[in-house]
Amino acid sequence: MALVEAVSRSAEYTFTKPNQGVITLVAGLGVEGDAHYGEKVRHRSRVARTPDAPNLRQVHLIHAELFEELARNGFTVTPGQIGENVTTRGVDLLGLPTGTLLRIGPEAVVEVTGLRNPCAQIDGFRHGLLKEVLDRDENGELVRKAGIMSVVLKGGEIRPGDAIEVTLPDGPHRKLEPV
Q: What is the pLDDT along the chain (179 residues), one digit of tens a residue?
A: 999 999 999 999 998 999 999 999 999 999 999 999 999 987 767 667 887 889 999 999 999 999 999 999 999 999 999 999 999 999 999 999 999 999 999 999 999 999 999 888 899 999 999 999 999 999 999 999 999 999 999 999 999 999 999 999 998 999 999 99
Question: Does residue 26 contact residue 37 with C-beta atoms inside 8 Å?
Answer: yes
Which residues, 6+ apart, have CB-to-CB distance to 140 below 8 Å? none
Helix (H, G, I), strand (E, B) or coil at 129: helix
Domain boundaries, the chain: 3-167
CA–CA gap between residue 140 and residue 83 (Å, rounded): 27
Cβ-based burial of 97 (10 A; exposed 0-12, middle 13-18, buried ≥19):
middle
pLDDT of residue 42: 78
pTM comes to 0.96
Which residues, 6+ apart, have CB-to-CB distance to 178 below 8 Å? 114, 115, 116, 117, 144
How far is CA 170 from each of CA 98, 114, 173, rounded to the nearest angstrom?
A: 11, 17, 8
- CATH architecture of the domain 3-167 equals Beta Barrel (2.40)
pLDDT of residue 47: 64
